[in-house]
Every structure is written in C-alpha cells, then in structure tokens.
Amino acid sequence: MTKRRIKTVVWPPKATHIIRNGWAKTQLGLYGQLIEMIPVVWLDKLNNLHPSPMTNLFGSDKLVSLADLWKNIQEIGMQDPILLHVCQVSGFARVEAGNQRIEIARLMGESHLPAVCLISAKKMLHPGNGTHVFDLRSDLCIPLCRATQVVERLTAPSSVFR
C-alpha cells in the first residue's frame, strides 16, 4: 500500500496575516517554488518538543517572547520559511529553523506554514536550537545513501516526504 504524500497548499498562497503581499521581497521570495505551505500538525511532529519560550526576530539578535513573535508575524508577516532538515544518510529529520513559529502557529490555530527542506549528510546542523531528531525513514520518498553520495540541496518538502 502506497502512503499518501503530505498534503500541501499551492504556493504562492493568497495573502494572509501569515504571508503578506510583499513576500517576494523577503527570504520567502528567494526560495520561490521550493516553498510549500505545510500543515502545522505535520510540522509539529518534527518540532522541538520543548521550544525555547524566547526567540529572535528575523534580522535581529534581540530575544522576544512567543507572544511578541506572534504580534510581529501579524504586523509584517513571516519573513522566512520553516527550514526542515533531512539527513539522507540516516533518514533522521528535524525542524532546523522555525520551532517557535510552529509552536505559536499551533497555539493560535493556524493551519499551514511555508516550509522548505534541506537535504544533507549531517544529522543536524545547529544543535543550539535543540538536539531533537526523529526517525522518518518510513516517511521518506528519497533513497538513503552514503555520506559521500549526498549532494546538499534545498528542495520542496513534498519531493522528500510521503
């Protein structure tokens, strides 16, 4: 029996409080068609189980609360996509960037967030945002391979996950 691919929403979406009309001038625009709107409930299974209650806003080192993060998203929209990371050697995956955005979106009842996927030979890139990794070998539609065979690349999440 073939598993269904994650259900995505067409990109670019209509403007909302999450994605503003000016998205093309942000990091979201740089990734273009690699971004897909992914269900928050699906992203939550790769999220840090205990995300920090503080985060920095895009382009700033100042730490803010999740409430302030939500206020910022409502004021200017998301500036960059959730970054999913998949190790093509082990089949482990995680949210590399965006743990707090997923947490606040879940709490506020949002259904989808923009995401892009990075494939590499490393198990994790930045352990500073948590050491959470999840075995998703059964959910991958890309083959596992040796580290020397992995080409690090950005891609659309639906090309990686079932």
**Does 44 map to a domain?**
yes
Indicate whether 92 belongs to any domain: yes
* pLDDT attached to residue 73: 84
Tell me the whole-structure pTM to 2 decimals: 0.82
Q: Does residue 3 lie within any of the structural domains?
A: no
Which is it for the CA torsion 128, 132, 133, 139, positive or negative?
Answer: negative
Which tokens in the block code for residue 5?
A: 């691919």
Task: Give me the residue label for tokens 């198990």.
Answer: 123
Provide the domain limits for residue 111.
21-159
Count of alpha carbons within 13 angstroms of residue 99, beta-carbon side = 24
| Class of residue 50 by CB neighbours under 10 A (exposed 0-12, middle 13-18, buried 19+) | exposed
Q: What confidence score (pLDDT) does residue 1 get?
A: 39
The contacts of residue 67 (CB under 8 Å, 6+ apart) are: none
Predicted local confidence at residue 87, as pLDDT: 92
What confidence score (pLDDT) does residue 140 get?
85
Residues of the chain with pLDDT under 50: 1-4
Q: Is residue 9 part of a domain?
A: no
* Residue 4 forms part of a structural domain: no
DSSP 102-117: HHHHHHTT--EEEEEE
Q: What pLDDT score does 117 carry?
A: 92
The answer to whether residue 11 sits within a structural domain is: no
- Give the model's pLDDT for residue 57: 67
Domain membership flag for residue 15: no
Q: What is the tally of structural domains in the chain? A: 1
Residue 4, pLDDT score? 43
3-state secondary structure (DSSP) of residue 100: helix
